[in-house]
Structure 1
């Protein structure tokens, strides 16, 4: 297994305090390897990234809500995620990986535990595990009636190859990590134009995360900031933010999560916009009710 940089365990407080009920819209966790073994072919494992470590990171940032996304290291075995949701409490919900191997019984168990989304991961490192168009359609048919949202990770793809699969789905769809943008093209990137068009449809959302990692200019990540400000200007009511802790498959160096929250202040200098991104938008999308799962 390749070596990847570890997350910084000493989270520092952000310069701008988070508003009450702020939400980190994507983290991943790992459980006790004796209780929750990962797949032998897992592309990334960091057993230090426990739910307790995540909650401590959130406490320092002032985050009170979050979405724990199933790690590819566990495939469709959601036992570690379900256990983490039990520990994290009602301010957290899950996003799972669903395909034909997930039984109706397990799907019901996931829903009962607080899973409210299904993620389709098109990361090239997954090799033979990439979802097919038929996988996407069958999964959507199973989870949309439960009120779940759908999530797309399209790293390295032209989004126009994937997003038509969900054009007719009557649920919310989240695009991870700024979308699969071509940073050297800047704001003239046709991938960016396509994502912006989707955001005007009313049920598509963009997650601001990994801007530092994808940046071509490096610190202070001005190219990512330019994209983020355009997203906020064009569709402020459908923008989310996430740390993507513990930063899977990151070759490093990994910024401190407090620094990433400070980066959000550059993405959205207006405090009203930051409140919308951190509180109002995730509360509406994830249907948090007084900090709980609807």
Structure 2
């Protein structure tokens, strides 16, 4: 495994308070290493990213809800996830890695534990087994009746063959990290145009995250802001926000998570917009009670 920068443990409050019921739509956690072993070939491990550390970070930000996303370091062994959801409480739901090896009994157990989504990881740095097209369709058909969403991590890949595969799927589909954008092309990036076209279909969503680390302009990340504002204008009711804490595979410097909420304020200067992104939209797609 490579060494990557650690998150800033001294989370500062954002410049503007977030509304009650705000949701961080993507975090990862790692359980006790003695009880929840990772894959021997895991691309990264952040044992400091415990449930308690995550809850402390959210408390500092004013975040009340969150979605814990299965790390590829655990593959489709969700024992650490189930433990984390139990510890975090009912304001936290999960998004897992489901494939043909996941039995119907396991799927029911995951749903009962609070899992509400299946993620497909195509990012080559994650060193996971790439999703097989037929298996993706089978998984989508299994989880859609449960009311789950699908989640696509498409960094560094051509998105179109993958999104075409899911063209007839009626479940909500989230594109992670603002999509596999090529920031050097700006708004002329064909991948950006493709994602905007998907947002016009009604069941596609996009998550505003990683804009800071993908930016080629550097702080204050104006190139990321331009993308985010266009997404919000295109589909204000299908945009989410997440920290991606503990910022896996980040070569540094890792921003303070309070800065990421400040960046959201630049993405969405209107408080009504931010309320929709932080509260209304996640409540709808993740089915928070």
Same fold (TM over 0.5): yes
Structure 2, unpaired ranges of 5+: none
1:159 equivalenced with 2:159 (yes/no) = yes
Match of 1:45 in 2: 45
For 1:274 and 1:206, locate their aligned partners in 2 and report how far apart those are by CA, in whole Å. 15
1:173 equivalenced with 2:173 (yes/no) = yes
Match of 2:98 in 1: 98
The C-alpha deviation readout for 1:41-97, integer Å capped at 9, x for no partner, is: 000001010011001100010000110000000000000000000011111100000
For 2:223 and 2:89, locate their aligned partners in 1 and report how far apart those are by CA, in whole Å. 37
Match of 1:183 in 2: 183
The C-alpha deviation readout for 1:145-194, integer Å capped at 9, x for no partner, is: 11110000001112112101111011100000001111111111111111
For 1:255 and 1:231, locate their aligned partners in 2 and report how far apart those are by CA, in whole Å. 23
Match of 1:201 in 2: 201
For 2:46 and 2:126, locate their aligned partners in 1 and report how far apart those are by CA, in whole Å. 17
* Root-mean-square deviation over aligned CA pairs: 0.8
Match of 2:239 in 1: 239
For 2:49 and 2:85, locate their aligned partners in 1 and report how far apart those are by CA, in whole Å. 14
> What TM-score, normalized to structure 1?
0.97
Aligned with 1:253: secondary structure?
A: coil
Aligned with 2:178: secondary structure?
A: coil
After TM superposition, the structure 1 = structure 2 runs for residues 134-153 of structure 1, keeping only pairs within 5 Å, are 134-153=134-153
Asked if 1 retains the 8 angstrom alpha-carbon contact of 2:97 and 2:120, the reply is yes
User: Deviation at 1:127?
Assistant: 4.2
After TM superposition, the structure 1 = structure 2 runs for residues 114-125 of structure 1, keeping only pairs within 5 Å, are 114-125=114-125
For 1:101 and 1:252, locate their aligned partners in 2 and report how far apart those are by CA, in whole Å. 36
For 2:252 and 2:101, locate their aligned partners in 1 and report how far apart those are by CA, in whole Å. 34
The alpha-carbon distance between structure 1 residues 128 and 30, as it changes in their structure 2 partners (threshold 3 A), is closer
Match of 2:82 in 1: 82
After TM superposition, the structure 1 = structure 2 runs for residues 3-22 of structure 1, keeping only pairs within 5 Å, are 3-22=3-22
For 2:99 and 2:231, locate their aligned partners in 1 and report how far apart those are by CA, in whole Å. 31
Q: How many residues align?
A: 289
For 1:60 and 1:192, locate their aligned partners in 2 and report how far apart those are by CA, in whole Å. 33
For 1:138 and 1:28, locate their aligned partners in 2 and report how far apart those are by CA, in whole Å. 25
Match of 1:212 in 2: 212
The C-alpha deviation readout for 1:12-44, integer Å capped at 9, x for no partner, is: 000010100000000000000001011100000
1:282 equivalenced with 2:287 (yes/no) = no
1:112 equivalenced with 2:104 (yes/no) = no
> 4+ runs of 1 displaced by more than 3 Å?
none
For 2:245 and 2:193, locate their aligned partners in 1 and report how far apart those are by CA, in whole Å. 28
User: Deviation at 1:128?
Assistant: 5.8
Match of 1:292 in 2: none
For 2:104 and 2:284, locate their aligned partners in 1 and report how far apart those are by CA, in whole Å. 27
Asked if 1 retains the 8 angstrom alpha-carbon contact of 2:13 and 2:258, the reply is yes
For 2:54 and 2:261, locate their aligned partners in 1 and report how far apart those are by CA, in whole Å. 15
For 1:287 and 1:43, locate their aligned partners in 2 and report how far apart those are by CA, in whole Å. 31
Report which stretch shifted further, 125-134 or 28-37.
125-134
1:222 equivalenced with 2:218 (yes/no) = no
